[in-house]
Chain A
Amino acid sequence: MGDHWAYQSVKKPDVPQIGTLWSRLGITANDETDWAKNEIDHFILDKLKQDGLKPSPEADRATLIRRVSLDLTGLPPTEKEVADFVADKSADAYEKVVDRLLKSPAYGERWTGMWLDLARYADTKGYERDPGRKIWRYRDWLIKAFNQDKPFDQFTVEQLAGDLLPTPTDDQLIATGFHRNTMTNDEGGTQDEEFRTAAVLDRVNTTWDVFGGTTFACIQCHSHPYDPFTHDEYYKYLAFFNNSRDEDVTSDTPTLRFYKPADSLKLAGLQHFIASSIQNPKQAQASVNQVTHLVRTIEPKINSHDFDQYVNASLLDAKYFGFQDKGSCRIKNVTLTGRPRLLLRWGTKATNATVTIRQDKLDGPILATILTPKPGKDTVQMVPLPPVQGRHNLYLSLDSPEKPKDWVQIKWVAFAPILPGQPQNAVGEKDQLLLDLLNADVEQTPIMLDGSGDLARETHVFDRGNWMVKGKRVTPDVPRSFPAMDPKLPKNRLGMARWMVSREHPLTARVAVNRFWEQLFGTGIVETVEDMGTQGIQPTHQELLDYLAAEFMDSDQWSVKKLLKKMVMSATYRQQSNASPELVAKDPFNKLLARGPRVRLSAEAVHDQALAVSGLLSHKMYGPSVMPMQPDGIWQSPYDGETWKQSTGEDLHRRALYTYWKRTAPYPSMVTFDSPSREFCQLRRLRTNTPLQALVTLNDPVYVEAAQNLGEYMRNHGSSPEQQIQAGFRQVMLRDLPPKKLAVLVHLYRTTEEYYQQKPGEAENLLDRPGFDCKKVSPQLAALTVTANTMLNLDEVITKE
């Protein structure tokens, strides 16, 4: 099994020769050499010849620019862009279009849309309660990364392990949101450890799915029946991920904290104070970094679900520790060396209660006695500790005589350094400044951070995949059947990420190339983009895949834009998609590519195109998710009471990738057009063709509004119905309707115009909407709206041709 082609490192194959010696030298004309534009075409043609097929001619310019615009930016071109291209007689007219599209900001949005499925991005946490989660900064990061053409190896490393890069930037931390899109379970009574484990398993599976295109998940329970992986190798790989500090807590920590400007100034002041108070510049910088990390993340922390030895105490709602009068608990094995300040986050209803912290025993030496904060908002408190060396158990006990039955909750504890010039045994002025920042109102985005020291975890094999039954202990490593990790790489997530994008790794580049190919051509070179293993479907053009993967890694330095450009510049891509009955019979699913791709648009593109061609689309980029029109009653969450609050202004008409994504109730029209729920990573959308899709584009108010707007555009562009219909169709399809099709639409226009003449009230009903001037109501406009609605439902309109 280990000798399966996809598990061998990529070698660049020779490019097949086409044409004749003379034609290759450019001396004589030859159909093959005249047709081919780049190496891709050599591979395709070589195969076509073996099957006795000939390529198709290039698509007409209007069709070609629509295809390449939808593919590269997810949006159709404008009429002007089409006209310019059609009129451009220069030899590189098409290349200029491609270069313009690759530079367009919409490019990043389009490819982010694809990546969000892989990252299982959502605006909610999933599972039963499925409450909101703010992780849209990760989406913004993706858009920028694609637009900057961040090399795919770096793109991979930052998402998998940006937090472990030396002094990571905010962007590199935000990138790790990739693996913080795992679900967390806030349902009452659920065990955090179970769902922390589920998230770690999901990260392992998703990493292999997205970058490895291999069904690694199989070996969670047993050794792989088909592919060269063993059961324990799964857990060795899992060990790379098992140290992350996220533990299924409600607050979704660790997070990167974003302060309001005034608080950011305070932080800058604090940094300046520390830097200027310490003589040694290296020490000063280290101290600044330590405090900055604490303020930006409040990590490392010990979550209170890890406390034990409860007396008169409970893990409330299976989430946070709480105790009542005379209650106590233990925090075990805490290193106290060099930790002069204890931080605690309280939630309490009791008044005038005191908590005593003792060392090693319930009646051991007292380290601190704390008056709990006033009831109300959760607060972080700072407690000075006497100098203690080594690792100890801490015992916390509560005296709460005033309200003995009221719970005093501790959500987590953490440690802070002592700031320069602060008293050892009291909270000083600068300490207070630090504490104010920890209590400040902030925005947060989930990130990955690893624990070390007391917080490092051991990884064990789960017997038959059951997380409760721990088998032998394992340390991080990659599967033996793959090239070993470079010994210079650290055995942590960062080393693993670098290994994934090493030149020898057989899968990462192939899988990426195959995925981008599938997006353009409708089907991957390996049709099962999710599985390149032995059970996947065999590649149609294996040497082409290897050629592109080798170029991608070597000469193109992992540039996605160069890869995509190579694909769309090929003659193969530019072919017309029409087929003769003979060709359809011979190659019904166009695996050999003797014609251009013809596939239904993605859910996002169906939506964005309708808004674009009707003039409604907002080009606003970035930021929190938006809530466009959605029928009532889609969200019925049992507990959280969150509701769909329709956005206003241009946020009503943003591109689909910005639509708020609730995992248990995703935006209905997206799901109807085959979007996954994003609970888990989905590598390939199965394109279906269902009546529910027809109902969306016919009747969904979003599409009706698009038809209304397009109807108005038509009325303003022409004096006869024929002209108006042609103008509308040009706006949508960037070409003229042939006479037969025009006749059908004119007939439709005439009969509906007649209907609305008889029923002016119906015309008003059809056209009326917020902001519409009722004086504009006419049977003609109503009939144009009906015609526009019809046009937006034509097969050719929702298809990339």
Chain B
Amino acid sequence: MNKLLNELQQAAAERETRRHFLHTCSTGLGAMALSSVLSSCGFFGKGNPQNNTVGSAPLPGEPTAPHPSQFVPKAQRVIYIHMAGSPSQLELFDYKPELAKYNGKDCPQALLEGKKFAFIRGVPKMLGPQGKFAQHGQSGAWVSDYLPHLQGVVDDITFLKAMHTDQFNHAPAQLLMHTGSARLGRPSMGSWVTYGLGTENDNLPGYIVLASGGKQPDAGKSIWGSGFLPTVYQGVQCRTDGDPVLYASDPAGMNRDVRKQTIDAISQINQQQYDDVKDPEILTRIAQYELAFRMQMSVPDAMDIKSEPQYILDSYGVDPNKGSFARNCLLARRLVERGVRFVQLFDWGWDTHGTSADGSIDIGLHTKCKESDQAVVALLQDLKQRGLLDDTLVVWGGEFGRTPMQENRDGQVLPFMGRDHHLDAFTVWMAGGGVKKGFSYGETDDIGYYGVKDKVHVHDLQATILHLLGFDHTKLTYQFQGRPFRLTDVAGKVVKPILA
């Protein structure tokens, strides 16, 4: 009886919530959120209809409810795999036999003039490719022996081989990659996407972040922050140790039944409060407590990989008792399967300067590749076999590339082989959700120093990802401090040739 009563009350609350919001759409969320949306979106008679913010404005009480994009999307969701520190494209994908000929020779002055590097000083030596390259698949994509598993799936992948960025330090380059700006304070890509599309599963956050490699990426939480967008759009980091979502565990000594009773009591009293004071925020709060209760169960359930069959665990190479990149790949599949919109993976440890064995391209990079290659490929195959790859976009890459020169930090010969940060050329690959299969786009010069054909800037990549999700990147905007902001700042063009 009590349960029935609760449900009735809840239903009434939801009806009233929705009615209230439909009724009063001229400002919102008790704050700038919706008024900003509306003042630029024009759906409710304000603003300029050419300046649509999202396909349909999120409702204030349900800012993450699913809503359609601006046009029919090819991808419904994204798994973005960021190798923090930046893997060397010259060891993995961008095969440069010419560079081998210059191995050990002084770098020509022409390449150094007017250039700044993070660590290279004076005249460094050139460093030939350390991987053994061959062409693979029908498409004949070059992949080195660092990534033997990936060699087998190149026909599902589009490689962008002439990527370039503006930043040669990790934190700003990561910020540029994920927020469109090298300075802090802008919303991340996942925030923009959940702001634009909402989430399909209201028992889970729409934007989930998983980090591996023992450390957080250099730019910290800002690369999954919501910037000036409401905090409801920020990435929720699921942790591998402790609670998967902070404070998702009930206190010791309080089981689910007790927690359910407390939530019921809170909802009942809040409902009585609403009856008295008629503040619609109370109805939102009732709904959010109910959601919190459901999340407490659905998040640990989504994160519990022990229910996966052994062959799946084996295909990813997952030890279920340990946090790892492989485990995060498997979790990514479980999360997109449950309707999470944007899953962001970060793996730390790809910064290979040659200052230590771990941070070298001859040893460290090998290890990182070994730890990740199988899992990435298992993820692609797993998604494919479940029919998810068609509308799930998988992106793989770092924040910049690495130099064809061997690093000579502080003018010294380093103990291991390494390359410095390089902003003019690197490789990113994409698979699934609306991109061509078995395709390679862009070329660099003979030593992999500059892109020479079909260059793709970070903002172009962002524009393309939004396009695949059904958005014109110039129109997914948010009004803030007097002007509309967007992910791609004032730049970016969609890379049409890679679209399927």
- Which A residues are within 8 Å of any B CB, using their own CB? 126-128, 130, 183, 185, 187-191, 198, 215, 217-218, 225-227, 314, 316-318, 322, 407, 522, 527-528, 530-531, 533-537, 577-581, 583-585, 588-589, 598-600, 631-633, 636-638, 663-666, 668-669, 671-672, 674, 677, 679-680, 684, 686-696, 698-701, 704, 738, 740-741, 744-745, 747-748, 751-752, 755, 762-768, 782, 786, 789-790, 793-796, 799, 801
Contact = CB atoms under 8 A, between A and B. Distances in A.
B104 interface: no
A695 B169 contact: no
B55 interface: no
A793 B261 contact: no
B221 A740 contact: no
A529 to B, nearest CB: 10
A738 B275 CA distance: 13
A530 to B, nearest CB: 6
A527 B258 contact: no
A188 B118 CA distance: 8
B158 to A, nearest CB: 31
Interface string B291-326: 110011000000000000000000000000000000
Nearest to B236: A692
Contacts of A696: 246-247
B35 interface: yes
A577 B231 contact: no
A691 B31 contact: no
A187 B169 contact: yes
Contacts of B185: 679-680
B218 A638 contact: yes
B367 interface: no
Interface stretch (B133-141, B145-153, B237-245): B237-245
A687 B222 contact: no
B295 A691 contact: yes
Contact of B247 (A698, A765, A790): A698
B285 interface: yes
A190 B171 CA distance: 10
Contacts of A636: 211, 214-216
Chain A binding site: helix, strand, loop or mixed by DSSP? loop
Contacts of B246: 631, 668, 672, 692, 695-696, 700
Interface string B256-286: 0111011001101110111011111110111
A631 B269 contact: no
Interface stretch (B22-30, B70-78, B88-96): B22-30
B265 A790 contact: yes
A741 B269 contact: yes
A189 B169 contact: yes
Contact of B482 (A316, A531, A588): A531
A699 B250 contact: yes
Interface residues on chain B, size class: 35 or more
Interface in B118-148: 118-119, 121
Given A527-B32, A663-B220, A765 B252 contact: yes
Given A589-B27, A665-B221, A699 B171 contact: no
Nearest to A315: B121
A218 B483 contact: yes
Nearest to B24: A588
Q: Which 6 A-B pairs have the closest CB atoms?
A: A766-B253, A664-B220, A189-B118, A535-B482, A765-B253, A694-B292
A700 B482 contact: no
Given A188-B119, A738-B272, A744-B268, 4 more contacts: A189-B169, A198-B183, A314-B410, A793-B266
A762 B32 contact: no
B279 A579 contact: yes
B258 A677 contact: no
Interface string B19-53: 01001100101111101000000000000000000
Given A579-B279, A680-B185, A686-B230, A128 B169 contact: yes
A128 B225 contact: no
B170 interface: yes
Contacts of A316: 410
A687 B30 contact: yes
B107 interface: no
Interface in B469-485: 481-483
Given A585-B23, A695-B247, A751 B261 contact: yes
Contacts of A700: 246-247
Interface string B165-178: 00011110000000
Contacts of A226: 482-483
B415 to A, nearest CB: 14
A530 B481 contact: yes
